A and B are shown apart, each in its own frame.
Chain A
Amino acid sequence: EAQVTQNPRYLITVTGKKLTVTCSQNMNHEYMSWYRQDPGLGLRQIYYSMNVEVTDKGDVPEGYKVSRKEKRNFPLILESPSPNQTSLYFCASSPWGGDYEQYFGPGTRLTVT
């Protein structure tokens, strides 16, 4: 089954404790991206990657890191999480880029206390 997977689905952590949210897709897509979704603010892109070892900032990159060492994986790293990063996070992939349809993972609900 073609899909985007994320882990964990739910995470509660404390301020400053480094965490990684994994994302993997099995559709051989070139483009992958991370979004956060907050009430009243909608979906905002954090980082995107056009290919292996090619990443770039989205609209809200502060406080996040990403890497793309393999085509299928695109982990999101919060090195020192803060409460304002409490949000619902989605990973997405696309065969050609952000200008085309994207396929979203199931989401990760992160709470930072």
Chain B
Amino acid sequence: QKEVEQNSGPLSVPEGAIASLNCTYSDRGSQSFFWYRQYSGKSPELIMSIYSNGDKEDGRFTAQLNKASQYVSLLIRDSQPSDSATYLCAVSRGSYIPTFGRGTSLIVHP
């Protein structure tokens, strides 16, 4: 049973702070890792994808992958109220069926 675990939150951070979102997965054969953002009542939209160990940066977002420890994280620097959303971690191992975590709710307060 493939599992992807996320803390449901809510994670509350002040505007301008760094938000750190974490995700652990059970399948050691996982190869592809994604972070999606989902605003309330809307569809998920891709923020970051990462395929190899280490950090990947895109603007204010940094994804970190550690396959040995089976976790992937998302850092959001200079958090803005518009970042308030649910963040979904997704993991895939080449089976065409990605597994999604249940999401972490992030609240950025002014």
Contacts and interface: CB of A to CB of B under 8 A. Distances in A.
A8 to B, nearest CB: 15
A42 B102 contact: yes
A107 B39 CA distance: 12
Nearest to A40: B102
Interface in A34-86: 40-45, 48, 50, 56, 58-59
Counting from the closest, the 9 A-B pairs by CB-CB distance are A104-B43, A42-B102, A43-B100, A98-B96, A99-B32, A99-B92, A101-B46, A98-B98, A42-B100
Interface in A89-113: 90, 97-107
B101 A42 contact: yes
5 contacts: A45-B98, A48-B97, A98-B96, A99-B92, A104-B45
Interface residues of A, number: 24
B32 A103 contact: no
Residue of A48, A58, A104 contacting most chain B CB atoms (<10 Å): A104
Residue of B44, B90, B101 contacting most chain A CB atoms (<10 Å): B44
A58 B97 contact: yes
B69 interface: no
Residue of A42, A44, A102 contacting most chain B CB atoms (<10 Å): A42
Majority secondary structure of chain A interface residues (helix, strand, loop or mixed)? loop
B96 A43 contact: no
Given A48-B97, A100-B49, A101-B34, A42 B88 contact: yes
B88 A43 contact: yes
Contacts of B32: 99-100
Nearest to B103: A42
Given A44-B100, A50-B96, A105 B46 contact: no
Given A90-B44, A98-B95, A102-B34, 11 more contacts: A31-B96, A42-B88, A42-B103, A43-B44, A44-B100, A98-B96, A99-B32, A99-B93, A101-B46, A102-B46, A107-B42
